[in-house]
Amino acid sequence: PVALASYRPAIHFTPPHGFMNDPNGLIWDGKVFHLYYQYNPHGTHAGYVHWGHATSPDLYNWHDQPVAISVSEAGQAFSGSVVLDRHNRSGLFPQLPLAHQEAADLKAAIAAISGPGAASAFAQNKASQDGEGGLVAIYTRSRPHSQTQFVAWSPNQGTTYLDWPGDPVLDIASDSYRDPKVFWHEASQKWVMALVQARARKVSFYGSADLLHWRHLSDFGPAGLRGVDYECPCLVELPVAGEGTPGESQTRWVLFVSINPGAPLGGSGTQYFVGDFDGERFTPENTLLGLLDFAKDCYAMQTYNDMPSNDVPGGAAVYLAWLSNWQYCNELPTQGWRGAMTLPREMRLRRDGEGWLRLVQQPWQLERLREAPLPFRAHRLGPMERAHTPLPANLAVEIEVTVRLEQGPGSQPGRFVIAFVNRGTATMPGEELTVGVDLQTNQLWLDRSGLRGYSQPFFTGQFSEALPAGLERVELRIILDASTLEVYAQRGMCVGTALVFPANPLNGLELRAENAQVTVHEARVWPLRPTMA
């Protein structure tokens, strides 16, 4: 079978070695993007959790950094977030040049946490840091029977963090109280924290002016799906596409809640509520709950704090999620490493045909990685026709297809199928991974059950979502990158994310009409420039 190395994605972030789960501390600090992540550097199973770290100029080219927060006597370093305390409102950052002894103490503390490399980075960076604020992490320390929130400040632009001596900053004597996501709430001029009382299935909101004193604001939940634990809440203001006036877009607040176990498809999944946040309380505007993804491998999403603004005031809402599921994350057939992040995704809301505000998502600035498109043409596919192109080896590919579909003659349901295939070998039959649209049931589907690289009872194969009724055109955008597949349909209204483990590389792409007439308005295939060295 396959060289296992080929399971490692070319444009999705993966840890150098060891086990990775949730993204943490996502922030643009004015110079680089930080990605911290739940990390076991000592093995390929969950546990012994540190904060791993990588930095990037563009959310695609990642540079590995030393561990930023380690396991300590206070417990494992569970999920959390990072904010930029630009004006040193916390008072955590030294205002005067450090005395020689203080600097030496800090350096020793950093070396003890993250090794001599980090300590010398500290020495180099210190000069520019004095007298200003900097990055502050707010995260959970977890030990048997206790989960509490910690605040930690970085003396070296995010390379390492030092716990505040007053920690824990929040302690309610609970063993299921975690995952603080903190952001600056401009309207009420304070930091807001969302965190979970996991077993009570509640999201609690707190407010603070200095990151050290927190006032309880309100609680939300249980709501929508219950499951066993609520985890990794994320509250974010999103623009409503096409509504409002130029320069002033309509917005809504959206609350995302990750659930594990007990997601509708099994194991982990993420629900969201659309509503309003007045600085104290989140109020959903209806009882509808949305699901972030129609497949199984998109969990613990978190948005970037302080995104640079381009066309969106306040910066685009861009998130990363863990591309896995607690049902099988510890057993995946990768070697030496486990866990991948999704591509960075930008979110908005759009009103669907029935008037509901729905989440829409697109990969963020992926166009930058496109190489010359493959010479692939397809205009019209009659009832049993197919168009085929070989795919380049070891590269991520992006496919964009827009088609019009009509039922063909005969009673068999008409379908349009995009298939990633291989012919197999003398000892191994061919495989295929498909994404398709079924005309009779109006469903978009994703089917990984034709792959043979991995099987496990919970690693189910088929996922689907109903497309908006009465579709004129089907618009699909698909990214296949080694063991990851992302599907964005109808300009991001239906998104599916799946781990995929073929036994042999998928080296062909087919567009097929099955009992359908397919008019191809557009079909383009781009190899994507690798960004993960």
Query: What residues are annotated to the active site?
Result: 22
Residues 157-186 that bind ligand FRU (CB under 6 A): 178-179
Q: Count residues contacting ligand FRU (CB under 6 A)?
A: 12
- Nearest partner of 530 among 62, 126, 125, judged by Cα: 62
Other CB atoms closer than 10 Å to residue 461's CB: what's the count?
A: 13
Q: Does position 513 bind ligand FRU by CB under 6 A?
A: no
**Alpha carbon distance 163, 165 (integer Å):** 6
**Alpha carbon distance 393, 415 (integer Å):** 28
One of 192, 193, 300, 405 touching ligand FRU (CB under 6 A): 300
One of 21, 148, 156, 197 touching ligand FRU (CB under 6 A): 21
In the complex, least distance from residue 264 CB atom to ligand FRU, rounded to whole angstroms: 17
Q: Does position 22 bind ligand FRU by CB under 6 A?
A: yes
In the complex, least distance from residue 233 CB atom to ligand FRU, rounded to whole angstroms: 10
- Nearest partner of 339 among 42, 45, 36, judged by Cα: 45
The dihedral built from the CA positions of residue 195, 199, 202 and 204, taken in this order, carries a sign that is negative
In the complex, least distance from residue 69 CB atom to ligand FRU, rounded to whole angstroms: 12
First CA to last CA across the chain, in angstroms? 24
Whether residue 456 contacts residue 328, with contact meaning beta carbons closer than 8 Å, is answered with yes
Residues 136-155 that bind ligand FRU (CB under 6 A): 140
Q: Does position 70 bind ligand FRU by CB under 6 A?
A: no
DSSP codes joined into one string, 283-317: EESSS--EES-SSS--EEEEEPBTPPPSSSTT--E
Residue 9 or 269: the one with the smaller Cβ distance to ligand FRU is 269
Which H or E run contains 255?
strand 248-260
Residue 182 or 451: the one with the smaller Cβ distance to ligand FRU is 182
List C-alpha distances in Å: 502 to 209, 387, 505. Answer: 51, 22, 6
**Alpha carbon distance 22, 8 (integer Å):** 18
Token couple for 181: 């996501």
Residue 139 or 416: the one with the smaller Cβ distance to ligand FRU is 139
Q: Does position 444 bind ligand FRU by CB under 6 A?
A: no
- Nearest partner of 518 among 380, 376, 402, judged by Cα: 380
Token couple for 124: 């180099």
Backbone angles phi, psi at 477, to 5 degrees: -130, 125
In the complex, least distance from residue 140 CB atom to ligand FRU, rounded to whole angstroms: 6
In the complex, least distance from residue 382 CB atom to ligand FRU, rounded to whole angstroms: 47
- Nearest partner of 234 among 214, 215, 257, judged by Cα: 257
Query: At a CB cut-off of 8 Å and minimum separation 6, what does 411 contact?
Result: none
CA atoms within 13 A on the CB side of 132: 13
Residue 122 or 272: the one with the smaller Cβ distance to ligand FRU is 272
Residues 464-493 that bind ligand FRU (CB under 6 A): none
Residue 270 or 490: the one with the smaller Cβ distance to ligand FRU is 270
Q: Does position 327 bind ligand FRU by CB under 6 A?
A: no
Q: x-or-dash pattern for ligand FRU, window 73-102, by CB under 6 A?
A: -----xx-----------------------
Residues 45-64 that bind ligand FRU (CB under 6 A): 49
Residue 261 or 290: the one with the smaller Cβ distance to ligand FRU is 261
Q: Does position 231 bind ligand FRU by CB under 6 A?
A: yes
Q: Does position 232 bind ligand FRU by CB under 6 A?
A: yes
Interacting residues with ligand FRU (CB under 6 A) = 21-22, 38, 49, 78-79, 140, 178-179, 231-232, 300
